[in-house]
């Protein structure tokens, strides 16, 4: 028996669950886990089914295509397997170390194929885990230098061809072209509870506003800054006694945990993104 994960979205109508389950049973399969959600506002039905089956995956895909056409489904059939990640980072190292450690210990079903940074500070960290490190500095503050640096990063990503790109506090604004090419497989961690305090220096702006909660948000990347579909969020309490520095210290633990949660959900094929939002099946 082989394991597969089916993700599907279609117009919501009666009979979808029964038809899909019947198809699995008719092929000799067994459902291991299933979750579903009906979005009344958008008129959509979304489902995740994890199941075992006896046939080669290509045959399973070909067989399900008939069911998908019947219900006008957008769908993907995944085979669970360790993924290859590329981590993009700047000078902050906490999310990078967390991802390297989780991949090395098997907490995440993935390996880090490369670390790319516009700073050279984390070369040693990558070397400790036996991961290739690419230092791609920004040669200046003008648009030409920024575009050249981004083009070099894109060249590395095309060469490595990762399953997922993780922006682990990569403090660069990405161009529309870069986001269009890599966005559907890029996850970013932002150090605020979005949509509050999008953009730069969110802890400083949270302190100035006097908030009592700060948070972290992991989301898919789109061309709109910090506005992609949200996958995971969490918060922690702060008080008048906190400074921007202590807020940032409290936030670092949140950022690492929220990013790992989002990466795990993506790797386990538990996320369906639509209408700039997500359904995350627990």
Give me the active site residues, please: 226
Angle, alpha carbons 249-253-254 (nearest 5°): 110
Using alpha carbons, list the distances in angstroms from residue 6 to 32, 66, 94, 216, 268. Answer: 12, 14, 34, 29, 11
Cα separation, 48 vs 51, whole angstroms = 10
Cα separation, 20 vs 32, whole angstroms = 14
Asked if 216 and 233 count as a contact pair (C-beta separation under 8 A), the reply is yes
Q: Which residues pair with 230 in a beta bridge?
A: 219
Q: Provide the Cα torsion 245, 248, 253, 259; round to 10°.
A: -160
Give residue for tokens 């290859």.
84
């Amino acid at each position: 028996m082989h394991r597969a994960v089916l993700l599907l979205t279609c117009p919501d109508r009666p009979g979808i669950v029964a038809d899909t389950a019947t198809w699995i049973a008719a092929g000799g399969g067994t459902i291991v886990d299933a979750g579903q959600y009906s979005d009344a506002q958008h008129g959509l039905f979304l489902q995740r089914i994890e199941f075992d089956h006896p046939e080669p995956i290509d045959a399973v895909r070909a067989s399900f295509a008939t069911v998908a056409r019947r219900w006008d489904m957008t769908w993907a059939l995944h085979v669970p397997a360790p993924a290859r990640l590329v981590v993009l980072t700047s000078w902050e190292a906490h999310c990078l170390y967390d991802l390297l450690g989780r991949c090395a210990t098997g907490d995440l079903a993935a390996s880090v194929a490369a670390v790319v940074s516009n700073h050279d500070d984390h070369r040693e960290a990558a070397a400790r885990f036996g991961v290739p490190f690419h230092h791609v500095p920004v040669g200046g503050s003008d648009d030409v230098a920024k575009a050249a640096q981004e083009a070099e990063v894109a060249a590395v990503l095309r060469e490595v061809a990762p399953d997922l790109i993780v922006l682990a506090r990569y403090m660069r604004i990405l161009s529309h072209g870069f986001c269009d090419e890599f966005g559907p497989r890029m996850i970013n961690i932002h150090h605020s509870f979005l949509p509050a305090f999008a953009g730069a220096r969110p802890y400083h702006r949270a302190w100035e506003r006097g908030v009592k909660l700060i948070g972290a948000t992991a989301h898919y990347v789109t061309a709109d800054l910090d506005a992609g579909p949200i996958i995971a969020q969490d918060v922690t309490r702060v008080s008048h006694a906190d400074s921007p520095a202590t807020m940032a210290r409290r936030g670092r633990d949140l950022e690492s945990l929220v990013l790992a949660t989002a990466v795990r959900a993506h790797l386990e094929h538990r996320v369906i993104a639509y209408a700039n939002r997500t359904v995350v099946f627990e």
